[in-house]
A = this chain, B = another copy of it.
Amino acid sequence: MHITVALIGFGNVGRALARLLMRKTDVLRQDYNLTFTVTGIATNSRGCAIDPGGIHLETALKLVEAGDGLRSLHRGDPVIETLDFIERCPASLILESTWLNPHTGQPAADYARAALRAGRHVVTANKGPVAFAYRELCELARQNGRGFFFESTVMDGAPVLGLGREALLATDIHRIHGILNSTTNFVLTQIEEGSSLEQAVQQAQQMGLAEADPANDLEGWDAAVKIVVLANVLMGADLRPADVDRTGITGLAVDDIRAAVASGERYKLLCEAVREGETVRACVRPVRLPLSDPLSQIRGTSSAVTFETDTLSHLTLIEGDPDPETTAYGMLVDMINITRERYL
């Protein structure tokens, strides 16, 4: 099988995906009988390129990493903006990893909508489309007979959503809880080890974990978006991030964080979704966990989630030490599973 793919977003994750696609070309052919051509790349600040004959990924990476644009790789009329790119790029599958506005889910939700309407499969690492328009996009994908997969939206490349689709079958998930935001977990770990809040945030920014404005992470918005994704996809809820009862870590005093450690506990920013009768209630808040709780052992940038269901008492998934390639890997797995028609 041969597929044409387009990349939207060519930041840390998009470029890691390009490198991963190059590195895994032989394995995809040998193990999955899958070959691919990248027919387009759209970026926010480096322009767009469409080439039906195939874009050479190594050249595209070199251009962008040298600070140049992609326009020299483009064939045909200039591309006006990303929606124009989605319409015109001859690709059966879109791999999307753009920046998210956590309060609106845009522009990624519009990209997914446009791509599915144009009959393209969509793989996104972007929580926006799922947190704000999950039901609509699923229905659109179904009507067009296309796949809409988003493994990398929660816990990077760890197969949380694949688990739901392929393993947590015919079961009633009554509670999901976990540590889903790496920046706050890293910051809490650093404070326990002696840093101030400011030092810890600065270090997270230097590592590329936290944005220039870290409020999105520290105030629990990123965590809220992620628990909404899990609640909507795995528990049949229809929540929006604003529905989440949300408290970030900015109200925690450094002394309290260290006092917890001294008494054999650790503060964690816990995300939780619980079924209550016909509804699902979600919250994000700092909680003191005893060291005997496996979630208390999740340090630094690692993350974890526990499912409680009527057939599996407790099932926990932990992802240790992720990097941008981990997120890209989740997208690669989605791409393989779409070509294997796992969306049917």
Contacts and interface: CB of A to CB of B under 8 A. Distances in A.
Interface string A313-344: 11111111111011001001100110000100
Tell me how many chains of this kind the complex includes.
2
Interface string A146-163: 000001000001110011
Contacts of A342: 166
Nearest to A167: B159
Interface size class of A (residues with CB under 8 A): 35 or more
A321 B313 CA distance: 6
B169 A166 contact: no
A314 B162 CA distance: 17
Contacts of A332: 169-170, 311
Given A159-B167, A337-B166, A294 B318 contact: yes
Given A32-B170, A170-B27, A320 B313 contact: yes
B314 A321 contact: yes
A118 interface: no
A56 interface: no
A312 B171 contact: no
A274 interface: no
B318 A316 contact: yes
A20 interface: yes
B171 A167 contact: no
A200 to B, nearest CB: 20
A9 to B, nearest CB: 19
13 contacts: A31-B170, A162-B167, A166-B337, A169-B332, A169-B333, A291-B291, A293-B297, A302-B314, A312-B322, A313-B323, A314-B318, A314-B319, A314-B321
Interface of A: 20, 24, 27-28, 31-32, 151, 157-159, 162-163, 165-171, 291-294, 297, 299, 302, 306, 311-323, 325-326, 329, 332-333, 336-337, 342
